[in-house]
Amino acid sequence: MSNQNYDAIIIGAGVIGTAIAYELSKKGRSTLNIDKLPASGYGSTSNSCAIIRLYYSTIDGCAMAYDGYNYWKNWRDYLKAPVNEKIAKFHDCGTLIMKTKQNGGLKKQLKHLDSLDIPYQHLSNKQIVERYPFYDVSSFGEAKTLDDPSFGRPNGGEIDGAIFFPYGGYISDPQFATKNIQLACEREGGEFKFNSTVEQIITNNGAIAGVILEDDTRIDAPVVINVAGPHSQKINALAGAELDMNISTRALRQEVAHVKAPKGVDYASFASVISDSDIAVYSRPEIGNNILIGSEDPACDEHVFVDPDDYNKDFTDQWTLQAQRMGQRIPGLGIPTKIKGCVDLYDVTEDWIPIYDKSCIDGYYMACGSSGNQFKNAPVAAKAMAELIDYCESGVDHDVVPMKYKLGTIEGKINMGTFSRLREINQGSTFSVLG
């Protein structure tokens, strides 16, 4: 590390924290990312499902995702990477959303998408089965737990077709994508300090002055940004930033199952990302002809909030539940005896919409509560945060006059007040990983 004084310290080197450093570095600010883990993207980012989709419960969320899609699609350009540098692969396979009673046929979301000119196509159940001949389009909702006697029994109806969005897909290696951003940031002069834990956030007359690490190293900066993922609540407590927050963050334990595709099916060659609220799971292709299966957090499932430094990292019955739910839609899906997948944490707000905001402490900013659904938005969130920091540091009160961020690849602006720590809980949210 070349010095102990920076323009901005970013706590966390996940995909969003690393991207924020990249954007600030491009603006000429000296930046330092501090992370307790040994590499960028090593924490919850590494186990992200890294899905790129455009449908959210707010129009600002949809606009941010559309803008973000364009950066992922043109990843090398975003990174300003040399032609010989290996970069993460974006699988631009589209997303398929089942129209169900639970999501209201996506009618509310489609209004947002129409206003942004985002293309999509309605599919009938017949067209779904033509695409996925091994599918059962029976309706099984509401979601149930394995101990419910009616689990796995169709309710007598069918889902109401689906919507296919051609713009969307997934990143095959989210940790590698984060490493790509780190290299881009370092080309702009940004620095990284790993295996280091922030023990104290220093203030002077109510304004940020820097941080102290667990080895008593002091690093000075007038700006500190909390992008600590599941540790964000602990970092906010260090700063005393939670005093005026209407919205808070907590670490939520999650399991993701990896299950082999049905025998004889080359799943990755044609499959899209799929969201299916009737069976309460989302899925995407995974390396090795696997299907990755995550939960859409139905009301019947227990939400396990944990201490991010002390939680059960072993698989539980939740893994089996998610695999069995997918088996309702794919009757030929085998459930392996050897469990594969991951156990990790989301950083969740009350309405599953992130906080991208300043705080009650001058110079202290937050990009947290990313709730498992913001990986796709990392480039845009980072650009918006860099603009927000400039906006606030110039003397404008964002709480009174919320900043409007001009999108980079599509027309329009987003109101950053949507992501304020002072907002009321958004009752239009899905209150799930879908945001």
Does this model's pTM top 0.95? yes
Q: Do 355 and 291 have their domain in common? A: no
Mean pLDDT value of segment 229-244: 97
| pLDDT exceeds cutoff 50 at 223 | yes
Q: Do 155 and 128 have their domain in common? A: yes
For the chain, the distance separating the N- and C-terminal CA atoms, rounded to the nearest angstrom, is 38
Q: Do 183 and 66 have their domain in common? A: yes
Whether residue 283 is contained in a domain is answered as yes
Q: Do 103 and 143 have their domain in common? A: yes
Tell me which of 1-5, 184-188, 271-275, 428-432 is least confident.
1-5
Q: Do 339 and 358 have their domain in common? A: no
pLDDT band at 3 (very low <50, low <70, confident <90, very high): low
Whether residue 426 is contained in a domain is answered as no
Whether residue 288 is contained in a domain is answered as yes
The pLDDT of residue 2 is 45
Please give the Cα distance from 219 to 5 (Å, whole number): 6
Mean pLDDT value of segment 349-369: 97
Where does a domain end: 345, 367, 389? 345
What's the pLDDT tens digit per position in 140-184? 999 999 999 999 999 999 999 999 999 999 999 999 999 999 999
Helix 15-26 vs helix 174-187: crossing angle, to nearest 10: 20
What's the pLDDT tens digit per position in 320-339? 999 999 999 999 998 888 99
Task: Give the domain extent around 181.
Answer: 8-85+173-248+351-419
Whether residue 152 is contained in a domain is answered as yes
- Number of domains, the chain: 2
Q: Do 220 and 291 have their domain in common? A: no
Where does a domain end: 345, 376, 403? 345
Where does a domain end: 311, 345, 379? 345
